[in-house]
Amino acid sequence: MRTSRQVVDYSLQKRAVLRELLAGRVGTYDVCDASPYLKNAARFHGEPTEERCPICRSENLIHVHYIYGDELKQSAGQARTRAELPVLAMTLREFQVFVVEVCLGCDWNHLVEQFLLGRDGLAGGTEDGAERGAVSGPSAPNGSTPRRRREAQR
């Protein structure tokens, strides 16, 4: 996605959990514990993948995208389809997306990745948003450049 940033990949954590399961230090009931809400979200909002479940190997995994952010208000925590994310990214300044993989056969679920989306990623500013204040800050008396940039030039 064009505006995604601050991506965190959880594949190493997934490998560690699977290693613990295969070694017998963790039980199947500990890792196959998808809630009914998560399973329903996978059925109705999930995106099927080509990847087989690492536990039961009988069904393909489904990715569910959950969104969180201050601007979302009541919509925070809802599952959304991947097609809805670019539309939201153009209308909202910033929100966080968590991608969870789910197996409807054995209830395996694991966080795949998280990332930020939103219009702030299109501004061309720095990653931490320091440029945001300079772009939308108050204008100088002559209206040519923001005050913050003028102070930085001194």
pLDDT bucket at 138, cuts 50 / 70 / 90: very low
For residue 51, pLDDT over 70 is answered with: yes
Give the separation between CA 38 and CA 42, rounded to whole angstroms: 6
Q: Looking at residue 121, what is its pLDDT?
A: 60
For residue 61, pLDDT over 60 is answered with: yes
In the chain, the amino acid numbered 6 is Q
108 vs 144 pLDDT, higher one: 108
For residue 132, pLDDT over 80 is answered with: no
Number of domains observed in the structure of the chain: 2
61 vs 141 pLDDT, higher one: 61
Which tokens belong to 77? 């925590």
Whether 76 and 107 map to the same domain: the answer is yes
Q: Looking at residue 76, what is its pLDDT?
A: 86
Whether 58 and 104 map to the same domain: the answer is yes
The stretch 49-70 carries a mean pLDDT of: 95
The stretch 85-103 carries a mean pLDDT of: 93
Give the DSSP H or E segment for 114: strand 109-117
| Bridge partners for 139 per DSSP | 146
Whether 33 and 77 map to the same domain: the answer is yes
Whether 108 and 138 map to the same domain: the answer is no
Q: Which of 29-33, 72-76, 133-137 shows the lowest per-residue confidence on average (mean pLDDT)?
A: 133-137
User: What domain range includes position 152?
Assistant: 125-154
The pLDDT tens digits of the residues spanning 111-120 come to 999 999 988 7
Whether 95 and 26 map to the same domain: the answer is yes
- DSSP structure string for 37-78: HHHHHHHHH-EEEEEEPTTT-SSEEEEEEEEE-GGGGGGTT-
For residue 60, pLDDT over 80 is answered with: yes
Whether 66 and 132 map to the same domain: the answer is no
Whether 25 and 97 map to the same domain: the answer is yes
Whether 37 and 80 map to the same domain: the answer is yes
Whether 111 and 133 map to the same domain: the answer is no
CA 141 to chain centre: 41
